[in-house]
Amino acid sequence: MPSPVDPSASRPSRRSPAPSPPKDPPGTFDELSALLRERRDALTRSQRLLADRVLADPEGVAFMTVSELASAVGVNEATVVRFAAGLGLDGYPGLTRLCRERLREQAQLLRRYRTLEQLGGEDGDLLERAAALDRANIARTFARIDPAVWDGAVRALAEAPRVHVMGLRKCHAPAYLLGYLLRMLREDVVTVTGGSGLLTDELRRVREGDCFVSLAIHRYAADTVRAAAWARDRGARCVALTDNASSPLAVSGEHVFYVDASGPSVLRSLTGFTALVQALAAGVAGALGQDARSSLLAEEELLDAFDVYEAPR
């Protein structure tokens, strides 16, 4: 007796074959977006997931491999290749080329409002899409981590005489969190803010052998980029958290982490940054061992002495 066959395995290809390539393949990302919206009703569920990802996060797709995009969306690699070919593009490289051109063109924040308007009328609840994107952000971020990069960064954060953490504008929050957590575990951790025009004063304290951590995503804060390059030239051990290999921080970083920041609206998500920052702090705590426990104990004694928290009722 033949073994049973899962009907869902072949159903999508029978019910909704890929549309024929257009006569005039898209030559820009705007033309690609228009084609995807025009064909939306004719796409299979897997193709719609791919189309949604391309429309919502061209910056991320621009630097993904076929396997990374397939994994992020939850389809197989062949589906991704057929999807690109069905759009009349020169395979998957043609798709990423348009996304990279979009990244270069997207110099103004207002472009994101166009994306929001285009996606706002599509099926799916905003909360569900936000949660799905953040799950993917975390999974893709951690899947990209090279164990050697991780070990080197944790050692630098734990062993350097002084740690300087810098992230401006939207990246200030995860930078502040990393600095806060590290200060609970060890001495000599500084969060560089550049406030009141004092950036050069703060950078003057960076010494050879220190650890300098920089955080930035497109569009990259110029002060963060310059500060990271200066710290590298100074002889600091540089750790960078950024969004892709073309980031200017990737040049300065000795240990570089690529963080996915896809969001369902005009604002990019920092969930991946937060998860990675907390993991790095946990790694440092493990590396410091008893020293970290002693620091945490001293912290708790101070908190109790100053009644920092409300006592339970």
What are the pLDDT tens digits along the chain (313 aa)?
Answer: 444 444 444 444 444 455 677 778 898 888 888 888 888 888 999 998 998 888 878 878 888 999 999 998 999 999 999 999 999 999 999 999 998 887 776 544 444 444 444 444 455 577 887 888 888 889 888 988 889 999 999 999 999 999 999 999 999 999 999 999 999 999 999 999 988 888 989 999 999 999 999 999 988 899 999 999 999 999 999 999 998 776 888 878 899 999 988 877 767 889 999 999 999 999 999 999 988 888 888 888 888 888 888 877 7
**Domains of the chain, residue spans:** 12-123, 147-305
Domains 12-123 and 147-305 share a fold: no
Query: What gap in Å lies between CA 224 and CA 221, rounded to an integer?
Result: 5
In this prediction, residue 297 carries a pLDDT of 87
Query: What gap in Å lies between CA 130 and CA 48, rounded to an integer?
Result: 17
Q: Tell which CATH classification among 3.40.50.10490, 2.60.40.10, 3.90.400.10, 3.40.1670.10 matches the domain 147-305.
A: 3.40.50.10490
Distances (CA, A) of 97 to 32, 270, 290: 11, 25, 50
Report the top-level CATH class of 12-123.
Answer: mainly alpha
Distances (CA, A) of 215 to 81, 238, 257: 33, 11, 10
Q: 192: part of which helix (H) or strand (E)? A: strand 189-192
